[in-house]
């Protein structure tokens, strides 16, 4: 295989944070292999964000469940005559799809389900992270892989314009608002802070003259509306539910971000927005905002024991 020609397909994990963890590898591949076609297989909701980075030649959406959709995906990838498949994902489905592409090389983590099917593998240390992905990138011959994801996400001007129009409609000053992401997936509720404390925090931020925009996916609209409704009367708190790309555009205009360990937190850090990250059981050394020195991590286990005053002090330091 000639590293300067041919085709490589990357199979990504399903969550936003995990996609951001893979961007340094894609960045190195783009620079080191200028003549090679790079494809990325991702969930449809992450496709637009990845396309805007310009790091890959083609983003191939991965259907969620339908067998017919998976067969079309295999047909598409086989038609590309892929030389090498690289698996950030460890799911059995990804390994099977990668093998079905017909590539001669299939590289991933030894902890992957069906790892026996891999032609090249490395050990994963701890949970999925930038550092583990960088080691995987080195395994396939990449050098000078960035240590963080900063400046790799691009926001189109059209997206910023739409975000600016939403802010203007709600009388929210640009760069005068704080974005908050209060929740995670239903499977990781232990990473969440208490809704009552969030509501108290938003009220106190309003007293300090800040607007707060509480964000989440469309599936979280009901709980975000309920949380906004819990805030003290007169507080300048707004809900904003959207897909990933519009959220990124809004986030890029924020003064700061406060939230739990989540993809939203990593997206803020990747856009160089100052982050106050609230960590409970997870390890910020492995999965904290990058680079660590640019942001503030507050760790408390259980997270329910974290006080509103501690978070306010953290935001004060972050804003200064």
pTM higher than 0.85 for the full model?
yes
Determine the 3-state secondary structure of 212 from DSSP.
Answer: strand
Residue 66 lies in a domain: yes
Which of 24-33, 58-67, 216-225, 280-289 is predicted least confidently?
58-67
Residue 298, strand partner residues: 278
Tell whether 187 and 129 lie within a shared domain.
Answer: no
Residue 151 lies in a domain: no
Structure tokens given for 253: 């205009």
Please write the tens of the pLDDT for every residue from 99-120.
Answer: 999 999 999 999 999 999 999 9
Tell whether 311 and 164 lie within a shared domain.
Answer: yes
- CA dist., res. 213 & res. 190, Å (int): 23
Which of 165-169, 186-190, 205-209, 230-234 is predicted least confidently?
186-190
Domain final position from 108, 139, 170: 139
Residue 147 lies in a domain: no
Residue 180 lies in a domain: yes
CB atoms inside a 10 Å sphere around CB 220: 20
Residue 74 lies in a domain: yes
Domain count, the chain: 2
Which residues contact residue 26 at a Cβ distance below 8 angstroms, ignoring those fewer than 6 apart?
10, 38, 40, 53, 55, 56, 152
Bigger pLDDT: 292 vs 62: 62
Tell whether 273 and 239 lie within a shared domain.
Answer: yes
DSSP H helices in 117-210: 130-139, 157-169, 195-207
Tell whether 200 and 297 lie within a shared domain.
Answer: yes
Tell whether 198 and 92 lie within a shared domain.
Answer: no
Residue 65 has pLDDT above 80, yes or no: no
Tell whether 121 and 212 lie within a shared domain.
Answer: no
Which residues contact residue 260 at a Cβ distance below 8 angstroms, ignoring those fewer than 6 apart?
181, 182, 183, 184, 191, 192, 193, 277, 278, 279, 280, 303
Tell whether 277 and 199 lie within a shared domain.
Answer: yes
CB atoms inside a 10 Å sphere around CB 56: 20
Tell whether 201 and 60 lie within a shared domain.
Answer: no
Tell whether 166 and 241 lie within a shared domain.
Answer: yes
Residue 189 has pLDDT above 80, yes or no: no
Tell whether 247 and 306 lie within a shared domain.
Answer: yes
CATH of the domain at 61: 3.40.50.2000
Tell whether 28 and 81 lie within a shared domain.
Answer: yes
Q: Are strands 105-109 and 58-61 parallel, antiparallel or unpaired?
A: unpaired
Residue 214, strand partner residues: 180, 239
Q: Are strands 84-87 and 177-181 parallel, antiparallel or unpaired?
A: unpaired
Residue 146 lies in a domain: no
Residue 188 has pLDDT above 80, yes or no: no
- What is the residue range of 97's domain? 7-139
Asked if residues 78 and 102 have their Cβ atoms less than 8 Å apart, the reply is yes
Residue 152 has pLDDT above 70, yes or no: yes
């Amino acid at each position: 295989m000639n590293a300067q020609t041919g085709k490589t397909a990357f199979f990504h994990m399903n969550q936003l944070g995990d996609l951001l963890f893979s961007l340094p590898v894609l960045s190195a591949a783009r620079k080191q292999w200028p003549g090679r076609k790079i494809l990325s297989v991702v969930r449809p909701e992450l496709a637009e964000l990845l396309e805007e980075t310009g790091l890959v030649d083609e983003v191939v959406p991965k259907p969620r469940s339908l067998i017919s959709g998976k067969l079309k995906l295999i047909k598409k990838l086989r038609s590309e005559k892929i030389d090498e498949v690289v698996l950030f994902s460890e799911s059995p489905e990804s390994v099977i799809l990668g093998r079905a592409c017909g590539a001669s090389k299939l590289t991933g983590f030894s902890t992957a389900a069906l790892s026996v099917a891999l032609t090249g593998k490395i050990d994963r240390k701890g949970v999925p992270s930038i550092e583990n992905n960088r080691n995987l990138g080195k395994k396939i011959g990449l050098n000078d892989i960035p240590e963080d994801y900063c400046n790799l996400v691009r926001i189109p001007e059209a997206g910023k314009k739409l975000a600016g129009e939403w802010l203007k409609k709600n009388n929210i000053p640009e760069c005068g608002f704080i974005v908050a992401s209060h929740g995670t997936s239903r499977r990781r509720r232990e990473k969440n802070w208490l809704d009552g404390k969030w509501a108290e925090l938003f009220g106190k931020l309003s007293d300090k003259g800040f607007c707060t925009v509480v964000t989440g996916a469309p599936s979280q609209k009901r709980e975000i509306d309920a949380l906004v409704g819990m805030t003290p009367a007169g507080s300048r708190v707004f809900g904003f539910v959207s897909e990933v790309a519009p959220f990124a555009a809004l986030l890029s205009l924020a003064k700061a971000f406060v939230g739990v360990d989540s993809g939203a937190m990593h997206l803020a850090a990747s856009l160089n927005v100052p982050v106050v990250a609230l960590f409970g059981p997870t390890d910020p050394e492995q999965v904290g905002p990058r680079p660590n020195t640019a942001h503030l991590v507050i760790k408390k286990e259980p997270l329910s024991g974290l006080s509103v005053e501690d978070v306010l002090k953290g935001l004060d330091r972050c804003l200064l």
